[in-house]
Amino acid sequence: MTTIYNFSAGPAVLPKEVLQQAAAEMLDWHGSGMSVMEMSHRGPEFMSIIAAAQSDLRELLAVPDNYKILFLQGGGLGENAIVPMNLMGRKPQPAIADFIHTGSWTAKSIKEAQKYGKVNVAASAEANGHTVIPSRDSWTLSKDAAYVHLCTNETIDGVEYHFAPDVSADTGDAPIVADMSSHILSRVIDVAKYGVIFGGAQKNIGPAGLTIVIVREDLLGHALPICPSAFDWKIVADNDSMYNTPPTYAIYIAGLVFQWLKRQGGVAAMEQKNIAKAQLLYDYLDASDFYVNRVAKDCRSRMNIPFFLRDESLNTEFLTQAKQHGLLQLKGHKAVGGMRASIYNAMPIEGVQALVSFMKEFARAHT
Ligand code: PMP
**Residue 351: CB within 6 Å of ligand 1?**
no
Give the 3-state DSSP-derived string for the chain, with helices as H, strands as E and coil as C.
Answer: CCCCEECCCCCCCCCHHHHHHHHHCCCCHHHCCCCHHHCCCCCHHHHHHHHHHHHHHHHHHCCCCCEEEEEECCHHHHHHHHHHHHHHHHCCCCCEEEEEECCHHHHHHHHHHCCCCEEEEEEECHHHCCCCCCCHHHCCCCCCCCEEEEECEECCCCEECCCCCCCHHHHCCCCEEEECCCCCCCCCCCHHHCCEEEEECCCCCCCCCCEEEEEEHHHCCCCCCCCCHHHCHHHHHHCCCCCCCCCHHHHHHHHHHHHHHHHCCHHHHHHHHHHHHHHHHHHHHHHCCCEECCCCHHHECCCEEEEEECCHHHHHHHHHHHHHCCEECCECCCCCCCEEEECCCCCCHHHHHHHHHHHHHHHHHCC
User: What pLDDT, on a 0 to 100 scale, did the predictor assign at position 170?
Assistant: 85
Nearest partner of 270 among 204, 327, 351, 190, judged by Cα: 204
Write out pLDDT tens, residues 211-238: 999 999 999 999 999 999 999 999 999 9
Nearest partner of 339 among 358, 318, 364, judged by Cα: 318
The ligand 1 atom at the shortest distance from the C-alpha of residue 202 is 15
**Residue 158: CB within 6 Å of ligand 1?**
no
Give the integer Cα–Cα distance in Å for 311 and 329.
20
Q: How confident is the model at residue 169 (pLDDT cuts 50, 70, 90)?
A: confident
Q: What is the CATH number of domain 266-365?
A: 3.90.1150.10
The ligand 1 atom at the shortest distance from the C-alpha of residue 9 is 8
Mutate to test the pocket of ligand 1, among 105, 151, 160, 203 (most ligand atoms within 8 A of CB): 105
Mutate to test the pocket of ligand 1, among 99, 180, 182 (most ligand atoms within 8 A of CB): 182
User: What pLDDT, on a 0 to 100 scale, did the predictor assign at position 256?
Assistant: 98
User: What pLDDT, on a 0 to 100 scale, did the predictor assign at position 171?
Assistant: 83
Q: What's the CATH fold of domain 17-263?
A: Aspartate Aminotransferase; domain 2 (3.40.640)
**Residue 8: CB within 6 Å of ligand 1?**
no
pTM of the model: 0.98
* Cis bond before residue 94 (omega within 30° of 0): yes
* % of the chain with per-residue pLDDT over 70: 100
Contact 142, 123 (CB under 8 A): no
Nearest C-alpha to atom 4 of ligand 1 is from which residue?
Answer: 181
User: What pLDDT, on a 0 to 100 scale, did the predictor assign at position 1?
Assistant: 77
Contact 252, 49 (CB under 8 A): yes
Write out pLDDT tens, residues 123-142: 999 999 999 999 999 999 99
Q: What are the residue numbers of the active site?
A: 105, 179, 203
Mutate to test the pocket of ligand 1, among 71, 102, 181, 202 (most ligand atoms within 8 A of CB): 181
Q: Do domains 17-263 and 266-365 have the same CATH topology?
A: no
Nearest partner of 330 among 300, 309, 301, 299, judged by Cα: 309
User: What pLDDT, on a 0 to 100 scale, did the predictor assign at position 350?
Assistant: 98
Q: Where are the domains of the chain?
A: 17-263, 266-365
Please provide the average confidence, as pLDDT, over all residues in the chain.
97
Write out pLDDT tens, residues 107-125: 999 999 999 999 999 999 9
* Gap from CA of 282 to ligand 1 centroid (Å): 24
**Residue 98: CB within 6 Å of ligand 1?**
no
Q: Is the pLDDT of residue 207 over 80?
A: yes
